[in-house]
Structure 1
Amino acid sequence: MSKSCLTTLCYLEQDGKYLMMHRVSKKNDVNRDKWIGVGGHFEEGESPEECLQREVKEETGLELLSWRFRGIVTFIADEHPAEYMCLYTSAEWDGDASCLPDCREGVLEWVPADEIGGLQLWEGDRIFLRLLAENAPFFSLKLRYKGDVLEEAVLDGKNLME
């Protein structure tokens, strides 16, 4: 049985835009060509908040001053180990958000929130991005994929695909 992984993902918000990463840099990237927020895998002994702060700093050069823990997303996929992702948003950081460094993971871009739906996203990401836009209370979302196809979405124990 393969080991599960723990990750964080953060959507930085500014002037009606989200900071998005177009994952085009790595060849063997499960997120290849998709648009996602910033974040990554926990290092040994890190708390979710420590992972969040480190990943945002590494990928954007920005130092988070505050954040909001929005939900837990469980990803189940036929080709990858289970992933448990802590989802955050932030609108307060130290650093110049208009001059972002090159990132080895992909290309960073500020995208107007109302244009994100037109990007190449995972189908499950569309669900939690909608929840963020609706300012939903803390949630638990389980997403089951077969290849790139979303087969199941369960929000707080309720199947969204029935």
Structure 2
Amino acid sequence: MIRVFTICYIEHEGKTLMLHRIKRKDDVHYGKWIGVGGKVEKGESPEECIIREVKEETGLTIENPKLRGILTFPNFVYDEDRLVFLYSAKDFKGEIRNCDEGDLHWVHNDKILDLNLWKGDRLFLEWLKKYKMFSGKIIYENGELMDYDLIVHEK
């Protein structure tokens, strides 16, 4: 089974909004820092999803999210593949509110790699710095990064 997700990294004044997933111990991302986003609902485009998910999780309304990458995570959890549309955004309105999934923090861009991130996230966060558009496959086994592939579409 393939499930489709979105994730967005929102930047503002040299910082990126990060979500520390610490509210549910049964969360596959428990203890990790990730971008905001979530599952694409039936009939929804990835762009509609990321705008909705950011609003639901943060209270912010993003404008002009930029598609930067498409990532495949084979057999990521529960024998399901995950297809993730990766966005960045700089334009938004609103005020941050509490999130049901974790704690939101604006993190200085030069401190993000100091956080407890998935190893695959470290890869694509670097790719976001280098490339305008890419696709990739990130393979985990039992939570450990095993392999990855990258295809650069625009430098």
Superposition deviation, residue 131 in structure 1: 1.1
Q: Secondary structure at the match of 1:121?
A: coil
* Residues 1:42 and 2:37 are matched in the alignment: no
1:97-138 deviation per Cα after TM superposition (whole angstroms, max 9, x unaligned)? xxx21111110000011101110000010011001122x031
Structure 1: state its 5+ residue gaps: 158-162
In the alignment, which residue of structure 1 is the partner of 2:72?
A: 74
Structure 2: state its 5+ residue gaps: none
1:75-94 maps to which residues of 2 (within 5 A)?
75-77=73-75, 79-80=77-78, 81-94=80-93
Superposition deviation, residue 77 in structure 1: 3.2
Asked whether the 8 Å contact 2:7–2:36 carries over to 1, the reply is yes
Q: 1:155 aligns with which of 142, 150, 154?
A: 150
1:45-93 deviation per Cα after TM superposition (whole angstroms, max 9, x unaligned)? 0000110110000001111121110010101236431000000000001
In the alignment, which residue of structure 2 is the partner of 1:160?
A: none
Provide the rounded CA distance (Å) in 2 between the counterparts of 1:103 and 1:76. 28
Aligned length: 151
In the alignment, which residue of structure 1 is the partner of 2:106?
A: 110
Q: TM-score, normalised by structure 1?
A: 0.90
Letter in structure 2 aligned against 1:22: H
Letter in structure 1 aligned against 2:22: V
Q: How well do the aligned residues superpose, as a CA RMSD in angstroms?
A: 1.2
1:3-152 maps to which residues of 2 (within 5 A)?
3-77=1-75, 79-80=77-78, 81-96=80-95, 100-134=96-130, 136-152=131-147
Provide the rounded CA distance (Å) in 2 between the counterparts of 1:5 and 1:66. 24
Asked whether the 8 Å contact 2:23–2:100 carries over to 1, the reply is yes
Asked whether the 8 Å contact 2:76–2:82 carries over to 1, the reply is no
Percent identity reads 45
Provide the rounded CA distance (Å) in 2 between the counterparts of 1:79 and 1:51. 21
